[in-house]
Amino acid sequence: MGFLFAALSMAYAAIVQHLIYTSPPCYTEPLACPASNLTEPNHVHFAVQLPAYALIGLSEIFANITGLEYAFTKAPPSMKSFVMSMFLLTNAFGSAIAIALSPTAVDPKLLWMYTGLSIAALIAGACFWLLFSRYNATEEAMNLLEDNRSKPIPATAVKADGTVALENSDDEELRGTERGPLGNAHPSSGIDQEKV
């Protein structure tokens, strides 16, 4: 939905830009012709552009906020920070694309820039849906990846053979137990895995 709202927002911005370019006094060169005295803009009310901002706001809610939530909840507890940083790194790529497109953000090229962004968002949304819509069926299984009862293991507790000794744990239930290479309770520890 986020990509769709972004595409609609850019399409609407292209329509508004076309409206600006077909309005007097300067048409395709707003504020640049002698008729405007360099102060009078084309005769289009500013409120015409408000729906574009509403649509891009909805796009942020459906794409960015949902993406942040998805990245955080689906990441294993020990990798939440890394996965979130990778998700936020995509913002850096978006900013780099914006910098690359900035030379086209001049009159009279704005109409084509908005049109291109609209088409790109629509294509990206379709590709994203085709590639990732199958994960909707596994939503509940992925939610079980995080066991709220598990506790992080300090790096100093890992032995050379890969087992984990929790001798100095603050949790009395875990103190003195050993865990195997995957963090599971060692069979000889006598601790029930469900309690860990």
Domain definitions of the chain by residue range: 2-143, 149-196
Task: Reply yes or no on whether the pLDDT at 27 is more than 70.
Answer: yes
Question: To the nearest 5 percent, what fractions of the chain are helix, strand and coil?
Answer: 60, 5, 35
Peptide bond into 108 cis (omega under 30): yes
What is the reported pLDDT for 155?
Answer: 64
Query: Cα separation of 153 and 163, whole Å?
Result: 11
pLDDT tens for each residue of 75-129: 877 888 898 899 889 889 989 988 998 888 888 889 999 999 999 999 999 999 9
Task: Reply yes or no on whether the pLDDT at 193 is more than 70.
Answer: no
What is the reported pLDDT for 109?
Answer: 87
